[in-house]
Chain A
Amino acid sequence: MADEEEEAGFEEELDDGSGGMDSSGHGRRKRLFSKELRCMMYGFGDDQNPYTESVDILEDLVIEFITEMTHKAMSIGRQGRVQVEDIVFLIRKDPRKFARVKDLLTMNEELKRARKAFDEANYGS
C-alpha cells in the first residue's frame, strides 16, 4: 500500500534534483530538513509517508519564515544582530509561539543548572 506513494515520491525527487525549478524559487538549494520534516509532519497528523512535494513546500516555508524573522530581528533592538529578546518581542502577539519559546528557554536554564550542579558534585567527590 505504501509502494505506490514511495514510487511517486521517488520520481518526484529525480525531477526535483535535476530541474530545481520551483514556483517559490528556492528549489535550487539542497534540501536541508527533509528527514526531520517528514517525522514532524507525521507527528502533527499527516500520513506516515508524506508526499515529497509537500515536504518540499514545507521546507521552503520554514526557510522563508526563518529568513523573515531573522531580518526583522536584525532591524529591531541591537541593529545587525539577532538576540533572543528580539525574537521574543516579534513573537509576542502569537500565544502559542510565545509560550513555546518561554518554555524552551526556561527548560534550557533548568537543564544548565542541573548539569552544573551535577558536575560540581562530581568534581567535589
Chain B
Amino acid sequence: MADPARIKTENSLEKEDFTNEDDPKTEQTENVPESSADDTKEPSTQDHPKDLNAEGEATAADDEEEGTSGQPSSKRLKVEPEKKKEKRHKVDEDEIQKMQVLVSSFSEEQLNRYEMYRRSAFPKAAIKRLIQSITGSSVSQNVVIAMSGISKVFVGEIVEEALDVCEKWGDTPPLQPKHLREAVRRLKSRDQIPNTKCKHILFH
C-alpha cells in the first residue's frame, strides 16, 4: 500500500487529465495551497454584479451609469484574474516544486503517513445520509463535498491540538481521550468549535 511511486503518479495523472485544456490554472493539483484572502473573494462577489447589471439596463442613462459604477466589480473581476492568475501561477509552481522536493526526501514511514493524510476521507454516502436525516430534504452534491472537506479539517485541528497537549503533558503518541478532551476544551475557548446549545447570557 505504501508505494512511493504511486504518490508521484497521482500528481502526473491529474496533469494528464487536463492536457485537453489550455487553462494555465490546471497546473494546480491536489496540493493545499495557502491561497490569499483575495483569491477567495472573487467567486463570492460574482453573483452581485449580475444583479446590478440587470437593474442598470432596465432604466435610463443615469441608471446605466450607476450600473457601470456598480459594474467595476465585474470589470475588476475580469482584469484582476489575469494579473492574479500569473502571480498565482508562479506561486503555485514554486509551491508545487517545493512540495515535490519535500516529498521526494520522505522516509518510508513519512510517506505512509503522508499517503494516509491525503487519501483519507469521509464516505460521501454516509455524510449525505447524515445531512439529509437532519434537514429532511435532499442536498446537492456540492454541499456534501464541502461538508466532508470541512469535517476533515476539523478532525485535523483537533488531532493537532491533542498532539500538542500530549507532548506538553509528557505522554506518548497513541492519543488518549483525556488529550482529546483537553484539546476540545482549548478549541472551544478559541471559538473554533461551534456550539449553539449554551447561550451565555452576559448581563442578567
Contact = CB atoms under 8 A, between A and B. Distances in A.
Given A42-B116, A111-B17, 7 more contacts: A40-B120, A46-B174, A62-B122, A68-B195, A94-B192, A101-B146, A103-B33
A119 to B, nearest CB: 11
Contacts of A101: 146, 149-150
A103 B35 contact: yes
Given A87-B146, A101-B149, A104-B146, A74 B131 contact: no
Interface in B1-43: 17-18, 20-21, 23, 25-26, 28, 30, 32-35, 37, 39-40, 43
B135 A81 contact: yes
Nearest to A40: B120
B126 A83 contact: no
Given A57-B181, A61-B184, A99-B35, A36 B146 contact: no
B48 to A, nearest CB: 12
Interface size class of A (residues with CB under 8 A): 35 or more
Nearest to A93: B191
Contacts of A69: 147, 150, 194
B106 interface: no
A58 B180 contact: yes
Given A46-B163, A57-B177, A74 B26 contact: no
